[in-house]
């Protein structure tokens, strides 16, 4: 049974106006076209909804029962249409983003601030997680897209290069490497080194670049803020990507770029192949692509 919204609106108008001429005018229809809608609705339902004569129009008992149903159906339909229009117009919605902690803490906040100013009705869900978790969140559908440090081209995931991130030495200003004319990996390897955990993309890129050489690891920690604290206290040096250098903008610390073959971290934007982005997610995607980190990060 295919009842149209035009039929429902015609029925409700006539139930309220109790006059074919006024009801037809309310819907901007000719009276013959309006009468055809009422007649087709009654035929479709198999019941008479109105008693009419030359003087008045009245609802039948079945018409009285149907009036509440028709009004509820139209209200639900109008609400659904408004909701869809709001989402398309980016007045409402939700975006879920999975992103590496190093981007989430430094580069991302100003981007999200601009997005929120443009679309204050869109809710934001940010997961600051490592690369494998970023991929899993996109794969499972809990994130619309992700920024991760591993490539993930597969039948279900699509990957595009987002940016490159060069590495820098971080040390105290009174450390010998702070003023060394040339920085070579073998020179770094002789000094106590504060490492990030092996699960981090930073550590994985560094290990691959220095192999088969090994750093003189003093300790392994999970957070870049902890690396900064240890380096500032003089416990050791470290090597980190440019996108994390905001952690090390501290009195008494020095950062120096490293020109080492293979020591550049690539960041990828990952999304599902089989699922279109919502209007809200598409808006954030477009802003993120416009706000890529500049060339000083690679």
- For 225-249, what is the HEC assignment? HHHHHHHHCCCCEEEEEHHHHHHHC
Q: With bands split at pLDDT 50, 70 and 90, how would you rate the model's confidence at 90?
A: low
**Residue 123 confidence (pLDDT) above 50:** yes
Q: What is the model's pLDDT at position 264?
A: 87
Q: What is the model's pLDDT at position 298?
A: 42
Direct distance between the N- and C-terminal alpha carbons of the chain, in angstroms, rounded to an integer: 61
Is 237:186 a contact under the CB 8 Å cutoff?
A: no
Alpha carbons 215 and 225: distance in angstroms, whole number: 20
CA dist 51 to 10, 54, 70, 198, Å?
Answer: 15, 11, 18, 80
Q: With bands split at pLDDT 50, 70 and 90, how would you rate the model's confidence at 154?
A: confident
When pLDDT is averaged across residues 220-248 and rounded to a whole number, the result is 94
Kindly give the pairing relationship between strand 122-128 and strand 264-272: unpaired
Q: What is the model's pLDDT at position 220?
A: 94
Q: With bands split at pLDDT 50, 70 and 90, how would you rate the model's confidence at 91?
A: low
- For the chain, the C-alpha Rg in angstroms (whole number) is 32
Q: What is the model's pLDDT at position 244?
A: 92
**Residue 297 confidence (pLDDT) above 60:** no
Report angle CA 270, 103, 282 to the nearest 5 degrees: 45
3-state helix, strand, coil in the chain (%, to 5): 45, 25, 30
Lowest mean per-residue pLDDT among 77-81, 154-158, 269-273: 77-81
Dig out the tokens for 157 from the structure: 């995931």
When pLDDT is averaged across residues 19-25 and rounded to a whole number, the result is 89
Is 34:10 a contact under the CB 8 Å cutoff?
A: yes
Report pLDDT digits (tens) over 202-214.
888 888 888 888 8
Percent of the chain at pLDDT exceeding 70: 95
SS3 84: helix
**Residue 223 confidence (pLDDT) above 70:** yes
Q: What is the model's pLDDT at position 205?
A: 86
240 CB neighbour count, 10 Å cutoff? 25
Question: CB-side exposure of 253: number of CA atoms within 13 Å?
Answer: 25
Is 201:130 a contact under the CB 8 Å cutoff?
A: yes
Q: Is 266 exposed, middle or buried (0-12, 13-18, 19+ CB in 10 A)?
A: middle
User: Taking all residues of the chain, what is their mean pLDDT, rounded to a whole number?
Assistant: 88
Q: What is the model's pLDDT at position 86?
A: 60
What phi-psi label fits residue 215: left (phi over 0), alpha (psi between -120 and 50 degrees) or beta? beta
Buried b (16+ CB within 10 A) or exposed e, 130-169: bbebbbebbbeeebbbbbbbbebeeeebbbeebbbbbbbb
Is 254:173 a contact under the CB 8 Å cutoff?
A: yes
Kindly give the pairing relationship between strand 50-52 and strand 57-59: antiparallel
């Amino acid at each position: 049974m295919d009842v149209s919204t035009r039929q429902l609106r015609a029925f409700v108008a006539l139930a309220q106006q109790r006059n074919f001429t006024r009801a037809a005018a309310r819907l901007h229809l000719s009276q013959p076209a309006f009468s055809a809608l009422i007649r087709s609705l009654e035929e479709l339902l198999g019941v008479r909804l109105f008693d009419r004569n030359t003087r008045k129009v009245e609802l039948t008992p079945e018409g009285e029962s149907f009036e509440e149903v028709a009004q509820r159906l139209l209200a639900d339909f109008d609400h659904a249409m408004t909701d869809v229009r709001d989402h398309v117009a980016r007045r409402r919605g939700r975006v879920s983003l999975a992103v590496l902690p190093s981007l989430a803490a430094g580069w991302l906040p100003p981007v999200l601030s601009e997005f929120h100013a443009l679309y204050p009705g869109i809710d934001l869900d940010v997961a600051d997680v490592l690369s494998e978790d970023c991929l899993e969140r996109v794969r499972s559908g809990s994130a619309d897209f992700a920024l991760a440090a591993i490539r993930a081209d597969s039948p279900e995931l699509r990957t595009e290069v987002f940016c490159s991130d060069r590495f820098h030495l971080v040390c105290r200003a009174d450390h010998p490497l702070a003023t060394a004319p040339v920085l070579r990996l073998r020179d770094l390897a002789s000094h106590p080194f504060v490492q990030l955990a092996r699960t981090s993309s930073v550590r994985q890129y560094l290990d691959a670049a220095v192999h088969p050489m090994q750093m003189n690891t003093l300790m392994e920690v999970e957070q870049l803020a902890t690396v900064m604290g240890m380096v500032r206290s003089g416990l050791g040096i470290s090597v980190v990507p440019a996108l994390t250098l905001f952690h090390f903008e501290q009195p008494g610390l020095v950062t120096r770029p490293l020109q080492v073959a293979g020591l550049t971290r690539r960041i990828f934007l990952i999304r599902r192949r089989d699922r279109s982005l919502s209007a809200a997610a598409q808006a954030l995607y477009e802003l993120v692509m416009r706000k890529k980190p500049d060339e000083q990060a690679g």
